[in-house]
Structure 1
Amino acid sequence: MEIRQLHYFLMLSNELHFTEAAYKLGISQPTLSQQIKVLEDELGVPLFDRLGKKIVKTEAGQLLEQYALQVVQQLENAKKSIEDLSNLKTGHLRVAVLPSDLDYRMTSVLIDFHKEFPNIKVQVIPSIDILNKVLENEVDIGVGLAIQPDSRLNRIPFHSETYSLYVHKEHELAKKNIIIPEELENLPLVMYPKGFSGRDLIDTWCENQDISIDTLMETGSVTSLFQLVKAGIGATIQPSQLIESFQSLGIRAISIKHSPTRNLEMFYRNDKYLTESAKAFMKRMKTFFN
């Protein structure tokens, strides 16, 4: 059994289609079929049931998939640990973050990180499905709202913060230092669309406070939301520390009594080798946000 064959097997397990799997592997369909047949002959059991043009994994195929994923992951861990040992400071770091203010606020972290690791290719991938991206090994680290305990993951809390109401400096509420939740009702708001973590957190908080809010406009960009506030179109509810970045727009942050709070954490698969550069990135995140 060769590593190459396991890679072929895993791709077919994922695609469940010989032509598609062969295309993604960059080999011919007959070559893929032959290698899967060699693997099945060696193991003495079929790994896939052929049902016309469709295939499904057999029980043996499902079992092999579990172990093959571990083998491939351990091989990748070995490669990365040897790269670290050689201290070449090269490689690839993939980070999934909330597609809102977090990716915007991480710019300073990325600049400092690049100064120490100029040869590391960094990909910051906005996503509302961070957990699955980490579990499916599409990224190395996830950065977002705290998740439920999971035996497959290492979790590192790094920041907690409250939310404030942001208004234009000429807004009728601008001179207030604090408002109560009920004052948010019927207030024209510009917010993230439903499905964004920040918006879902606010909606849940509103339910707990027994209030409802009206959105006049919705956009997935924190920059555009604050531009809309600057234009006087509406107010927005965002993490309190964002005022440091947008105060120059003539915007005020007003504290909210019993404010919504969010807890942020980084997480990664506990069977994954964490490179020195990845550790350095997480250390910078903790330092920056605190």
Structure 2
Amino acid sequence: MELRHLRYFVAVAEELHFTRAAQRLGIGQPPLSQQIQQLETELGAPLFKRLPRGVALTEAGMAFFFDAKAVLAQVERATRNVQRIARGDQGAITIGMINSAPFHPRVQLILREFREQYRSVQLSLTEASTPELAKAVLAGTIDAAFVRPLISDDPGLIVETLFDEDLLIALPANHPLGQQKTLSVESLAREPFVMFSREVGSGLYDEIIAACRRGGFSPRIEQQASQVTSIVNLVAAGLGVSMVPASMRQINSDGVIYRRIDDPAPKARMSLVYRENYQSASLSHLLALARQRSQAP
């Protein structure tokens, strides 16, 4: 039994007339009659009573009519679902983020617009460090991730730069340097630093160390944290100073203040990492949206 047999049968059952059903299907009446006879032979029961003018459904034909309609409706739904998934209008996508990514307005905008434009795509978010996210993308457990630059590019991964943002100096609220509106990196030479390890975020770590060395010193790192938000909290507790992405100003802690760095200010880069030769149409939509919004002024 093939789907065309079901379609032919349903057309005859709805028209109750072979000639009208054949016209509706765009085939000749004799081939349609032959197909229905083959179906009846396969099922082992007559589906129609032949009348002088048209046909009527038998009791078996009536029962088969409802089942055939249900099968064809399910096939149609499955076809639409496949087509929507192939277009990226339906399905599921999992996006990873480093701890600081959700604070940046552009990342917020990308995710919000993706949700608004592709409401039938199930969007799941997960948070981890850059190395953990890169491994998850490579393993296929997540589709893409917003990360800082990696220590090294792994084969099979694409790391695409989205945008750079200035770093700010984070100070305890009562710190004497807070009286100035802008600060030089050199002014931090004697201060204890709160940082994260290079393994957690090599790109940002290296940028901060390089900025300090250009300022003529190596930072004295006295406290380490696993996340940027934790760094802000440790600075607020008076355990040291740090440099954090400008978007972290959204963390409104009474114990921390932020100051701009004299030009040239070091930068924090945000990238999107995804698998080479990916096949997700939904991911294609996300990448296109991320590129578009990242290039906006």
TM-score, with structure 1 as normaliser: 0.57
Query: Are the counterparts in 2 of residues 103 and 124 from structure 1 also a CA contact under 8 Å?
Result: no
SS of the residue corresponding to residue 174 of structure 1 reads helix
Q: Does 1:275 align with 2:277?
A: no
Q: Does 1:178 align with 2:182?
A: yes
Q: Does 1:202 align with 2:208?
A: yes
Unaligned runs of 5+ in 1: 1-79
Q: 1:161 aligns with which of 161, 165, 171?
A: 165
Contact 1:163 1:259 in 2 (8 A): yes
Aligned length: 208
1:246 matched to which residue of 2? 251
Partner of 1:19: none
Alpha-carbon deviation of 1:205?
3.4
- Three-state SS of the structure 1 residue aligned to 2:130 is coil
Matched, 1:135 2:142: no
Query: How far 1:209 sits from its partner (Å)?
Result: 4.1
CA offsets 1:226-272 (integer angstroms, 9 cap, x no match): 223233332221012321x1245353221223322133221323311
Distance 1:143 1:81 in 2: 28
Does residue 91 of structure 2 align to residue 90 of structure 1?
yes
**Counterparts in 2 of 1:87 and 1:237: CA distance versus 1, 3 Å:** closer
The CA deviation at 1:174 is 0.7
CA deviations on 1:54-91 (whole Å, 9 max, x unpaired) are xxxxxxxxxxxxxxxxxxxxxxxxxx974524776232
**1:122 deviation in Å?**
0.8
**SS of residue in 2 equivalent to 1:266:** strand
Which residue of the partner structure matches residue 13 of structure 2?
none
Q: Which AA in structure 2 matches 1:175?
A: Q
CA distance in 1, matches of 2:82, 2:207: 38
Instruction: Specify the alignment match of 1:255 in structure 2.
Output: 260
SS of 1:233's equivalent in the other structure is coil
**Conserved in 1, the CA contact under 8 Å of 2:88 and 2:285?**
no
Residue identity in the other structure for 1:190? V
Report the identity percentage: 17
Corresponding residue of 1:61: none
- Please report the RMSD computed on the Cα atoms of aligned residues, expressed in angstroms: 3.5
In the alignment, is residue 193 of structure 1 matched against residue 197 of structure 2? yes
CA change 1:131–1:228 in 2 (3 A) is closer
Instruction: State yes or no: 1:126 paired with 2:133.
Output: no
Residue 141 of structure 1, CA deviation:
1.2
Answer whether contact 1:95 1:142 (CA < 8 A) is retained.
yes
Distance 1:97 1:289, change over 3 A: farther
Moved more, 178-187 or 151-160: 151-160
TM-score with structure 2 setting the length: 0.56
The correspondence for 1:223, drawn from 211, 226, 229, is 229
Instruction: Supply the AA of the counterpart residue of 1:95.
Output: I
Q: Choose which of 237, 248, 251 in structure 1 pairs with 2:243.
A: 237
Change (3 A) 1:286 1:250: farther
* Cα distance in 2 between the residues matched to 1:180 and 1:127: 29
Deviation of 1:125 (Å): 3.9
Structure number with greater Rg is 2
CA separation of 1:121 and 1:234: change in aligned 2, threshold 3 A: same
Q: Larger deviation: 145-154 or 162-171?
A: 145-154
Partner in structure 2 of residue 22 of structure 1:
none
Q: In the alignment, is the contact (CA less than 8 A) between 1:90 and 1:117 conserved in 2? A: no
Q: Deviations over 1:178-220 (max 9, x none)?
A: 2222211121222223322133432243344441112332211
Structure 2 CA distance for aligned equivalents of residues 254 and 268 of structure 1: 34
Matched position secondary structure for 2:265: coil
Q: Deviations over 1:124-175 (max 9, x none)?
A: 2413324444334332113223467888555543211121101133210112
Secondary structure of the structure 2 residue equivalent to 1:249: coil
Partners of 1:149 and 1:225 in 2: how far apart?
Answer: 26
Counterpart contact for 2:100–2:228, Cα < 8 Å: yes
Report the residue type matching 1:120 in the other structure: Q
Counterpart contact for 2:143–2:283, Cα < 8 Å: no
Deviations 1:2-21 (A, max 9, x none): xxxxxxxxxxxxxxxxxxxx
